[in-house]
Amino acid sequence: MKKTILKPLILGAMVLGSLSAEAHRAWILPQETQLSGEDRWVGFEAAVSNDIFVANYHAGFFGNVEVAQPDGEKGSIENLHTGKYRNVFDVQLEKEGTYKVFTASNGMRAMWQEDGKRRMYPGRGEQYTPEGFAKNVPEKADNLRVMQSSRRMETFVTLGAPNDTALQPTGQGLELVPVTHPNDLYAGEKATFKFLIDGEPAEGAELTAIREGTRYRNQQNEITAVANKKGEVTLTWNGAGRYFIEVEYKDDKAKKPATERTGAYIAVLEVLPD
């Protein structure tokens, strides 16, 4: 894996259109992650902002947030409201177990030169479709660069005891597979997560974890880790709190006609005091 991972990600954010032109952090933040009782609701905030978790940059687009329920059924977000800098929405928890609240996209993107002008697909605000790709991207062009890219952003909440049904990987893009359950994290214990790229261990994936409250300290105090052969990373937390997790992966095992494969994974996880 190469170190020059930032540039394609910045461009990726540009072409995907749903984010800012810069590589700003985006997140979906639950108010609570472990709940007891019956028929509960959880409120979420979602925004694009480098300050963890202070919504002060861009609301972003979160109308496509999906919910996977503890039995694998599709749920939905309710009461979505978009403010200047953030979105808020609710999810109702009627079933016991773990809910995954997420957005995911997989596709190809391309950049090339045409008549001396820079072109790209998908364009700003445009969604990738195989048809659109076939129609818009030339087979040959100057500086043609085709990338297979995936991006997933998620968080988890659990009513009652956690389970894994909603966490089954799809085999597409960069995904987290729990070794330690993401709603069973405690400050004094290590946590292990496995990452898959298109269903295979994402060896070399680079993880960064930052605890909330950066505004009240002078350093980001990020935790970094690189996935081993099995795609696993083991983290020692910097105390209790909600963490912003970002994982980046890149290799050249792309689906044709792409020559590069990139995966981005973002999660918000809550670590409780012991």
Partner 1 sequence: MKLVNNALAATALSVAVMQANAADLSVSVEIPELDVAEYHKPYVAVWIEDDSNKVVSNLAVWYDIDMRNAEGEKWLKDMRQWWRRIGRTLEMPIDGVTGATYGPGSYDLEFTMGKAPMSDLQPGDYRLRVEAAREVGGRELLNVPFTWPQQQDITITEQGSSELGAVKLTIKP
Contact positions vs partner 1 (CB under 8 A): 34-38, 40, 160-162, 184, 186, 272-274
Between 40 and 145, CB nearer to partner 1 = 40
State the minimum distance, in angstroms, from the CB of residue 239 to partner 1: 15
Measured from the CB atom, the residue of 8 and 182 that comes closer to partner 1 is 182
- Supply the minimum distance, in Å, between the C-beta of residue 149 and partner 1: 38
Rounded Cα gap, residues 182 and 153, in angstroms: 14
Per DSSP, 8 falls in state H
Residue at 224: amino acid letter: T
* 3-class state of residue 15 by DSSP: helix
Helix/strand/coil for 165:
helix
Query: 141 near 114, Cβ under 8 Å?
Result: yes
Q: Give the integer Cα–Cα distance in Å for 247 and 239.
A: 20
Q: How far apart are CA 51 and CA 58, in angstroms?
A: 11
3 state SS of 202: coil
- The residue (of 183 and 262) whose beta carbon lies closer to partner 1 is 183
Q: Between residues 175 and 184, which has the closer beta carbon with respect to partner 1?
A: 184
Q: Smallest gap, in angstroms, from Cβ of residue 34 to partner 1?
A: 5
Q: Which is nearer to partner 1, 22 or 32 (CB)?
A: 32
Question: How many Cα atoms occupy the beta-carbon half-sphere of 110 within 13 Å?
Answer: 25
Q: CB under 8 Å to 83, separation ≥6 — which residues?
A: 55, 59
Q: Cβ 271 to partner 1, closest distance in Å?
A: 12
Nearer to partner 1, 90 or 251 (CB): 90
Residues in the chain: 274
Question: Residues 112, 115, 120, CA angle at the centre, nearest 5°?
Answer: 30
Q: For the CB of residue 33, give the shortest distance to partner 1 in the complex, in Å.
A: 10
Closest approach of Cβ 233 to partner 1, in Å? Answer: 23
